[in-house]
C-alpha cells in the first residue's frame, strides 16, 4: 500500500476517535478551529506554490498536488458533516428537555387548580 | 372525584399509570380512552404538538393531559409521560399504550398482573409468540430482521423489539431516560434494559391493525433513520 493510503486511513481513524471524545467541548471546538486554519493555510499555499504541493504529493504516492488537496478536502468534509450532525442531536435533546419542563409545569398547574377547585372547606379556617 | 388523589380503579389498578403519546388522533382518542379508563383510571396523555385538536378531545375524559409546546416525537412524548407519572402519588406500575386503538386492555391487564406476581421489572408485548398471522407480511419481515441484526436483542431473548406496549415498575420508570426524540426509542429502551440489567419478559399480545392504524403506521423508509440513529447514538 502506498503511503498516502496508510496516512489517510490513520487520519480517518485518529480523527474519528478524537471527534467522538471531545466534540461539544470547548477544547474540541478549539482543535477544530485550529484544524480549519491549518487547512486554509495549506490550501492557500497550494494555490501560491503548486509545484511544492506536487512534490509532497509524489512523496506520498499521489500523482498530483491537486489530488492531494482533494483527498484532504474529502476527509475534512466528512468530519465536518459528522461533527455537525452530532451537535444537532445534542441541541435537539436540549430543546426537548426544555419543552418537557414547560409541558409538565403547565400540567401540574392545571392539576393544582383542579385540586383546589374540588377541595372541601379548609379545616384550618374553622375555629 | 378529587383529582389530587389517585382514583380507586376497578380491580385495584389505582397504582398503575398509562402513558399515552398522542399525535393527531382526534378521531379515535376519545373512544380509545373510554375503553381503557374503566379498568385503568390513571392515564396521562402526552399531546405531542397535535394540530387537529386532539387536546380538546382529551380534556374532560378523566385522563390527564400534558401538552408539548412543539412536536418532538414519540420517544420524547413517552419520556415526558413517564416523568409526569412517576411524580404521582402511589404510582407503582407504568404502561406505554398507543393512542390509536391498536393495543388491547386485556393484554395490559395480564402484563400488569405479571409485574405484580413475578420477579420482573419490565414486560414487553410481542407479536411473534403465538399467532403472528395478522401482522402484515412486510412488517413482519422487517421486524424479524431488526431482531436478527441485533446481538443484544437476541441475548435478551426478545422476539419483538419494536413493540409499543410495555409495562414496567418504578425501578425502570425512575431509570427511564429516553434521549432520542423520534422512533429510535425502542432500541434505546432495549439498551437500557441491557445496561441496567432490568428483568425483562415478553407477553404475547394482539395488535389490532385497523385501516386507520395501517394508514399511519411507521413507514419502512423511516427504518433507514432508525438504523442510522442507532449507529451514531452516543453512549454515555
pLDDT tens sequence across B89-115: 999 999 999 999 899 999 999 999 999
Q: How many structural domains compose chain B?
A: 1
All residues at 6 or more sequence positions from A31 whose CB lies less than 8 Å from its CB, including other chains: A18, A22
Does any domain span residue B64?
yes
Does any domain span residue B162?
yes
Chain A positions touching B1 (Cβ under 8 A) are: 118
Average pLDDT over residues B222-229: 65
| Inter-residue contact B40 to B92 (CB < 8 Å) | no
* Interface touch B4/A86, C-beta < 8 Å: no
Containing H/E element for B203? strand B200-204
Phi, psi of B123 (to 5 degrees): -120, 125
C-alpha to C-alpha distance for B119 and B124, rounded to whole angstroms: 14
Chain A positions touching B64 (Cβ under 8 A) are: 107, 111
Say whether residue A85 is in contact with chain B using an 8 A CB cutoff. Answer: yes
DSSP three-state, residue A122: coil
Per-residue pLDDT tens over the stretch B166-222: 999 999 999 999 988 777 788 889 989 999 999 999 999 988 877 666 666 555 666
Chain B positions touching A114 (Cβ under 8 A) are: 3-4
- CA torsion sign for B214, B217, B220, B221 is positive
Per-residue pLDDT tens over the stretch B10-44: 568 999 999 999 999 999 999 999 999 999 999 99
pLDDT of B4 higher than 50: no
Does any domain span residue B236?
no
Does any domain span residue A127?
no
Give the range of the structural domain holding residue A28, as residue numbers without chain letter: 3-86
Question: What predicted TM-score, i.e. pTM, was given to this entire model?
Answer: 0.78
Does any domain span residue A110?
no
CA distance A104 to chain B (A): 6
| Inter-residue contact B208 to B102 (CB < 8 Å) | yes
C-alpha to C-alpha distance for B148 and B161, rounded to whole angstroms: 10
> Bridge partners of B12?
none
* Interface touch B4/A107, C-beta < 8 Å: no
Give the range of the structural domain holding residue B52, as residue numbers without chain letter: 10-231
The grid coordinates of residue B116 equal 405484580
Q: Which residue of A has its CA nearest to B1?
A: A118
DSSP three-state, residue B124: strand
C-alpha to C-alpha distance for B13 and B9, rounded to whole angstroms: 5
Per-residue pLDDT tens over the stretch A60-97: 777 777 787 788 788 878 878 888 888 888 898 999 99
Touching B: A residues 13-42, CB under 8 Å: 20
Per-residue pLDDT tens over the stretch B101-151: 899 999 999 999 999 999 999 999 998 876 666 677 777 787 777 777 777
Q: Which residue has the higher pLDDT, B83 or B223?
A: B83
N-term to C-term CA, chain B: 44
Does any domain span residue A104?
no
pLDDT of B8 higher than 50: no
Does any domain span residue A52?
yes
Does any domain span residue B148?
yes
Which pLDDT belongs to residue B7?
A: 42
Does any domain span residue A10?
yes
Does any domain span residue B111?
yes
C-alpha to C-alpha distance for A43 and A41, rounded to whole angstroms: 5
The dihedral formed by the CA atoms of A20, A26, A31 and A35, expressed in degrees to the nearest 10: 100
Q: How many structural domains compose chain A?
A: 1
Does any domain span residue A11?
yes
DSSP three-state, residue B58: helix
- Say which CATH number the domain at B175 has: 3.90.550.10
The grid coordinates of residue B195 equal 445496561
Amino acid at each position: 500500500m502506498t503511503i498516502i493510503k496508510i496516512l489517510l486511513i490513520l487520519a480517518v481513524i485518529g480523527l474519528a476517535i478524537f471527534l467522538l471524545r471531545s466534540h461539544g467541548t470547548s477544547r474540541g471546538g478549539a482543535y477544530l478551529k485550529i484544524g480549519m486554519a491549518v487547512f486554509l493555510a495549506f490550501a492557500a499555499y497550494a494555490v501560491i506554490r503548486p509545484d511544492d504541493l506536487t512534490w509532497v504529493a509524489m512523496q506520498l504516492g499521489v500523482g498530483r498536488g491537486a489530488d492531494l488537496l482533494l483527498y484532504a478536502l474529502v476527509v475534512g468534509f466528512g468530519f465536518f458533516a459528522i461533527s455537525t450532525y452530532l451537535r444537532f442531536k445534542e441541541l435537539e435533546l436540549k430543546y426537548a428537555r426544555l419543552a418537557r419542563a414547560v409541558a409538565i409545569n403547565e400540567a401540574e398547574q392545571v392539576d393544582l387548580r383542579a385540586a383546589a377547585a374540588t377541595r372541601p372547606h379548609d379545616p384550618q379556617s374553622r375555629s | 372525584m378529587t383529582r389530587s388523589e389517585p382514583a380507586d380503579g376497578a380491580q385495584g389498578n389505582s397504582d398503575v399509570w398509562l402513558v399515552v403519546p398522542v399525535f393527531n388522533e382526534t378521531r379515535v382518542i376519545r373512544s380509545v380512552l373510554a375503553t381503557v379508563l374503566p379498568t385503568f383510571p390513571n392515564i396521562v396523555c402526552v399531546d405531542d404538538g397535535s394540530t387537529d385538536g386532539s387536546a380538546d378531545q382529551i380534556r374532560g375524559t378523566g385522563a390527564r393531559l400534558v401538552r408539548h409546546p412543539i412536536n418532538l416525537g414519540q420517544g420524547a412524548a413517552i419520556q415526558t409521560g413517564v416523568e409526569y407519572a412517576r411524580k404521582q402519588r402511589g404510582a407503582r406500575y407504568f404502561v406505554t399504550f398507543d393512542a390509536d386503538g391498536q393495543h388491547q386492555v386485556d393484554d395490559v391487564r395480564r402484563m400488569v398482573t405479571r409485574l405484580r406476581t413475578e420477579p420482573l421489572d419490565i414486560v414487553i408485548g410481542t407479536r411473534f409468540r403465538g399467532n403472528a398471522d395478522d401482522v402484515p407480511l412486510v412488517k413482519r419481515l422487517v421486524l424479524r430482521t431488526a431482531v436478527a441484526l441485533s446481538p443484544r436483542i437476541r441475548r435478551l431473548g426478545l422476539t419483538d423489539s419494536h413493540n409499543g406496549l410495555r409495562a414496567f415498575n418504578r425501578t425502570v420508570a425512575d431509570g427511564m431516560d429516553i434521549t432520542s426524540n423520534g422512533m429510535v426509542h425502542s432500541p434505546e429502551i432495549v439498551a437500557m434494559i441491557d445496561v441496567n440489567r432490568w428483568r425483562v419478559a415478553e407477553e404475547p399480545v394482539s395488535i389490532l391493525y385497523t385501516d386507520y392504524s395501517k394508514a399511519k403506521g411507521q413507514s419502512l423508509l423511516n427504518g433507514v433513520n432508525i438504523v442510522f440513529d442507532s449507529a451514531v447514538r452516543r453512549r454515555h
